[in-house]
Amino acid sequence: MFDILVIDDEQDIGELIKDIIEDELNLKTEFVLNSSSALEILKKSAPKIIILDIWLEGSDMDGLGLLKIIKNSYKDIHVIVISGHGNVETAVKAIKLGAYNFIEKPFKSEKLVITVKRTLENIELQQYNAQLNQQSDLASIVGKNKRIIEIKNKIANNIGSNARTIIFGEIGTGKEKIARLIHNYQNSTNKPFYKVNIENYPEKELEDILFGNANSASIFEKAKRSTIYINDLSKLSGHLQKKLLNYLHDSNQASKIICASTISQEQLINDLNFNQDLLQRLSSIILEIPPLRERKQDIKLIVDYYITNFKKNYPAKNLKLNNEFYTQFLEYDWPGNILELKNFIENLLLKLLLNPNDSLKITAFPLSQNNKNTFESCFDKSLKNAKQLFEKKYIEFNLQKFDGNITHTAKQIGMERTALHKKIKELQIKSHN
Domain locations along the chain: 4-129, 140-290, 293-426
Of 106 and 254, which is predicted with more confidence? 106
Q: Is the pLDDT of residue 133 over 80?
A: no
When pLDDT is cut at 50, 70 and 90, the band that residue 401 belongs to is low
Alpha carbon distances (Å) from 351 to 85, 299, 321, 348, 356: 68, 21, 14, 5, 8
Q: What is the 3-state secondary structure (H, E, C) of the chain?
A: CCCEEEECCCHHHHHHHHHHHHHHHCCCEEEECCHHHHHHHHHHCCCCEEEEECCCCCCCCCHHHHHHHHHHHCCCCEEEEEECCCCHHHHHHHHHCCCCEEEECCCCHHHHHHHHHHHHHHHHHHHHHHHHHHHHHHHCCCCCCHHHHHHHHHHHHCCCCCCCEEEECCCCCCHHHHHHHHHHHCCCCCCCEEEEEHHHCCHHHHHHHHHCECCECCHHHHCCCCEEEEECHHHCCHHHHHHHHHHHHHCCCCCEEEEEECCCHHHHHHCCCCCHHHHHHHCCEEEECCCHHHCHHHHHHHHHHHHHHHHCCCCCCCCCCCHHHHHHHHHCCCCCHHHHHHHHHHHHHHHHHHCCCCCCCHHHCCCCHHHHHHHHHHHHCCHHHHHHHHHHHHHHHHHHHCCCCHHHHHHHHCCCHHHHHHHHHHCCCCCCC
Digit-coded pLDDT (tens) for 337-346: 998 898 888 7
Q: Is the pLDDT of residue 33 over 80?
A: yes
Residue length of the chain: 433
Of 8-17, 177-186, 307-316, 387-396, where does the model show the most confidence?
8-17
CB hemisphere CA count around 184 (13 angstroms):
15
pLDDT score for 408 = 77
Digit-coded pLDDT (tens) for 270-288: 989 999 999 999 999 999 9
* Lowest model confidence (mean pLDDT) among 47-51, 94-98, 153-157, 312-316: 312-316
**What's the mean pLDDT in 290-301?**
93
pLDDT score for 104 = 84
When pLDDT is cut at 50, 70 and 90, the band that residue 5 belongs to is very high
Alpha carbon distances (Å) from 79 to 38, 94, 148, 309, 368: 13, 9, 40, 39, 59
The CATH superfamily label for domain 4-129 reads Response regulator (3.40.50.2300)
Instruction: Quickly count: other Cβ atoms within 10 Å of residue 358's Cβ.
Output: 12
**What's the mean pLDDT in 162-170?**
93
Question: Could you check whether 4-129 and 140-290 share the same CATH topology?
Answer: yes
Sheet bearing 101-104, strands edge to edge: 29-32, 4-7, 49-53, 78-83, 101-104
179-182 CB contacts, 8 Å cutoff, 24+ apart? 179/227, 179/229, 179/258, 179/260, 180/229, 181/137, 181/138, 181/140, 181/141, 181/155, 182/155, 182/158, 182/227, 182/256, 182/258
pLDDT score for 226 = 85
Q: Is the pLDDT of residue 55 over 90?
A: no
Q: Is the pLDDT of residue 136 over 60?
A: no
CATH 3.40.50.10490 matches 140-290: no
When pLDDT is cut at 50, 70 and 90, the band that residue 370 belongs to is very low
pLDDT score for 187 = 56
Kindly compute the dihedral angle of the four CA atoms of residues 253, 258, 263, 267, in this order, to the nearest 10 degrees. 40
* Lowest model confidence (mean pLDDT) among 170-174, 258-262, 359-363: 359-363
pLDDT score for 381 = 61
Q: Is the pLDDT of residue 181 over 80?
A: yes
| Whether 319 contacts 280, CB under 8 Å | no
Predicted TM-score of the model (pTM): 0.57
pLDDT score for 243 = 95
**What's the mean pLDDT in 405-426?**
82
pLDDT score for 210 = 93
Digit-coded pLDDT (tens) for 82-129: 877 656 677 778 888 889 888 888 888 999 999 999 899 888 877 766
